[in-house]
Amino acid sequence: MDSLLNSPELGCIVKLVIFRRTIKQRIDEMIKNITYFLLFLTIVLLSTDAASANAAPPPAVLWFSFQDESGSPVSPDSLQLIGCLTESCVSETLLSRYGNCALPGCLPGEPSLQGDMDQLACADALCRATSRDYPTQIFRLVANINGQVYTSKPARLFSGDAIRYQTEAYQVIMSIPGLNLSNDPDFVKPGLPSYGINFVYALLLTLLGELLVAWFYLWFVQRWRGAQLVTPLVLVCLANLVTLPLVWFLFPTFVPFMQLESRAVGLFLGLVAVYLSLVFYLAFVLLEGRRRWIIITVNLLVILLVIPVCALIIGYIVGYPNLYKLTSSGLPGSWLVWISEIFAWVYEAFFLYFLSRKTLPLKHALVLSLLMNLTSYLVGMVVLAT
């Protein structure tokens, strides 16, 4: 009995048990700390102005899409919205402005509208003017485009008397005589894209396509068989649970004139993605067997239950005090498509490389991720086109 107690085998077993318990405690503590940290970041990101007891009435909104006579978009360097008391515009007032214009033809002085909702902002070829206190329905535009000042004739831009509650959209054609305004009935306000398909359907299509590509690549290029294929195919599914929500709901919120609540929800999903990435990394690099899948399953179930509730709460907390406010800064949508696709390619490649414990070489992970994302992109284009 004494020889058994003093045997090196028993000592190794005891050390292994102590080591596993230590690792378990550290993982639990790390996950708890990460959760607290993400909660803190979420609260900081959601700091907003104080909300009033009742939502104020909506402002009047004017959208202007600038283009030249050939239909190509043009971006004004500065823009002035000038109010006129009559259609002859004998008496005029500078209401709002974007940028500064000291060229002949621009109206000098400070804008008369200085309230919280009084804004004129432009992003590329799109401009938006908002106010609750427009003193008139007759306006004219003065735009500085590439060092040349263009003006429009006075026009009645609102119909009826309730200016406060109206939203109107106009195409602004730049020509030699000046700016020509016409109603734009097909204008779509910037926001999260509506693809005509739901997210779950898109996720299933993406998973199906990328799993088939991964299986073919690992089977024919890597020569992996049987149990060797299980872990990388599972990793492909888990990686898409991180990247696809970001591609759908985070990156699109960085277009100009996005609702603040949409951007806040997108940032929250970004924090969730960071958390899931850490959980998956800890599970696949530090854990084995049953405990790995318990950690993954519990975290996925909790997040699936928490995300809808948190999204509603965040949308209300951020959206209510910032009602009718839009962010004017952002990136062009075409840029964001490429940025999101490059992100998904690089993220999934390193996800497969590290979480497979480097059994899949990095160069193969990069090639495989590129092929998978090209496949999902092409499948998405085909689905949207039909």
Which CATH number belongs to the domain containing residue 99 in this structure? 2.60.40.1120
Range of the domain at 116: 60-183
Q: Is residue 109 part of a domain?
A: yes
Residues 230 and 336 in one domain: yes
Classify residue 250: in a domain, yes or no: yes
Residue from 126, 194, 61, 130 nearest 332 by CA: 126
Same domain, 304 and 177: no
**What three-state secondary structure class fits 167?**
strand
Measured in residues, the chain has a length of 386
Is residue 18 a part of any domain in this protein? Answer: no
| CA-to-CA dists, residue 20 to 26, 27, 37, 318, 354, angstroms | 10, 10, 25, 43, 21
Is 11 part of any domain? no
Q: Which of 183, 208, 238 is the last residue of a domain?
A: 183
Question: Is the same domain home to 244 and 121?
Answer: no
Do 235 and 265 fall within a single domain?
A: yes
Query: Domain boundary at 134, 156, 183, which?
Result: 183
Based on the structure, what is the number of domains in the chain? 2
Whole-angstrom distance, CA of residue 157 vs CA of residue 185: 14
Residue 226, pLDDT score: 87
CB 120 within 8 A of CB 143: no
Q: Are residues 136 and 214 in the same domain?
A: no
- Could you tell me if 250 and 151 lie in one domain? no
Q: Based on the domain organization, do 103 and 222 belong to the same domain?
A: no
Question: Would the pTM of this model clear 0.85, i.e. be above it?
Answer: no
Burial group, residue 99, by CB count within 10 angstroms (0-12, 13-18, 19+): middle
Q: Do 285 and 204 fall within a single domain?
A: yes
Q: What is the pLDDT of residue 132?
A: 84
Are residues 239 and 152 part of one domain? no
User: Based on the domain organization, do 262 and 375 belong to the same domain?
Assistant: yes
pLDDT means per 10 residues, the chain with 386 residues, are 52 54 62 58 47 59 93 94 88 92 90 87 91 88 94 86 76 92 87 64 88 95 91 95 92 88 90 94 90 92 90 83 74 88 96 95 96 90 70
| Domain assignment of residue 14, yes or no | no
Does residue 177 lie in a domain region? yes
Same domain (yes/no): 248, 282: yes
Task: Give domain status of residue 13, yes or no.
Answer: no
The verdict on 114 and 40 lying in the same domain is no
* Cα 23 off chain centre by: 36
At 195 the three-state DSSP class reads coil
Residues 6+ apart with CB under 8 A from 336: 251, 252, 254, 255
pLDDT at 29: 65
Q: Kindly report the backbone phi and psi dihedral angles of residue 194, in degrees, each rounded to the nearest multiple of 5, phi listed first.
A: -105, 110
What is the signed CA dihedral for 292, 294, 298, 304, rounded to 10 degrees?
A: 70
Element (H, E) at 10: helix 8-45
Give the residue from 152, 183, 214 where a domain finishes. Answer: 183
93 located within any domain: yes
